[in-house]
């Protein structure tokens, strides 16, 4: 199984689906803090469609789990819900979006792809990563080095496959109102790629959702503010019943 997990089990295991050119290195502190947590590693086996990424995850997940998707991984999580809702006890959508492809999005993604093809993955990541970070994360050299190494290790072929998946992503407008499991929608306040307003719209579209905003974090919030992120995840895992949309701001804990 291409996944990493903590040693202790849990009644409902937590499965994390990473985002674009990310893997378990994004969630190291969460894996250490939450028993029964695991990340689906392996960059989705090189899949170039969200549907195939969902199949990759389903083949490696427990029969039933709490499913957390970060960024692109949240789109994969939604496709898992579409394919096998009975496998997901509760859902978390973190630093993400549910909108279709925006004007200019393809050109922007292809500019990065072409940079990587000509100058290498290091040049691509040097342009891609900084806008993903909040102000404090940008000043954390150790964190930046760790995320940079993770993203570079994915390689240009993985980046190419994953941006094609994003550019051909399934429409989810009709899916969102059908999701009945307790759902967490979480975002970093300084996320410029997937802003707070985007997550407010997602939470409103879901029948039973709680929106949480983490201060002083950007798009890479699980690594930028792991203590706050982990506390939110713990509360979501222990949530006793579906809760209609509630708005709550979280600072670092």
**What is the percent of the chain where pLDDT is above 90?**
88
Residue 253, pLDDT above cutoff 90 = no
pLDDT of residue 36: 87
Angstrom distance (rounded) from CA 174 to CA 157: 32
- What is the model's pTM? 0.90
Among the CATH numbers 3.65.10.10, 3.50.50.60, 3.90.650.10, 3.40.50.1820, which is that of 3-102+166-250? 3.40.50.1820
Residue 184 sits at φ, ψ, to 5 deg, of -100, 135
Nearest to 12 by CA among 109, 92, 113: 92
Residue 5, pLDDT above cutoff 60 = no
Angstrom distance (rounded) from CA 166 to CA 173: 16
Angstrom distance (rounded) from CA 74 to CA 94: 7
Residue 167, pLDDT above cutoff 60 = yes
pLDDT of residue 6: 38
122-148 as b/e, with b when 16 or more CB fall inside 10 Å? Answer: eebbeebbeebbbebbbeeeebbeebb
Tens of pLDDT, residues 33-71: 998 899 999 999 999 999 999 999 999 999 999 999 999
Give the pLDDT mean for 202-229: 97
**Mean pLDDT score of the chain, rounded to an integer?**
91
Residue 121 sits at φ, ψ, to 5 deg, of -65, -30
């Amino acid at each position: 199984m291409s996944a990493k997990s903590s040693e202790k089990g849990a009644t409902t295991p937590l499965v994390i689906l990473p985002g674009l050119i990310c893997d378990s290195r994004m969630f190291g502190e969460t894996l250490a803090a939450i028993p029964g947590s695991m990340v689906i590693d392996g960059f989705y086996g090189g899949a170039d469609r969200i549907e195939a990424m969902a199949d990759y995850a389903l083949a490696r997940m427990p029969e039933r789990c709490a499913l957390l998707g970060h960024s692109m991984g949240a789109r994969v999580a939604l496709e898992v819900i579409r394919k096998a809702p009975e496998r997901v006890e509760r859902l978390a959508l973190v630093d993400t979006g549910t909108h279709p492809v925006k004007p200019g999005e393809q050109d922007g993604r292809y500019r990065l792809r072409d940079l990587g093809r000509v100058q290498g993955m290091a040049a691509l990541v040097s342009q891609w990563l900084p806008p993903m970070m909040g102000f404090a994360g940008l000043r954390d050299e150790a964190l930046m080095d760790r995320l940079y190494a993770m993203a570079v290790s994915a390689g240009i072929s993985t980046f190419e496959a994953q941006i094609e998946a994003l550019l051909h992503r399934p429409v989810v407008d009709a899916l969102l109102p059908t999701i009945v499991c307790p759902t967490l929608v979480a975002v970093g306040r300084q996320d410029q790629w997937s802003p707070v307003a985007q997550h407010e719209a997602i939470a409103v579209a879901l029948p039973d959702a709680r929106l949480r905003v983490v201060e002083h974090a950007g798009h890479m919030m699980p690594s930028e503010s792991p203590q706050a992120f982990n506390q939110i995840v713990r509360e979501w895992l222990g949530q006793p019943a579906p809760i209609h949309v509630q708005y709550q701001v979280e600072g670092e804990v």
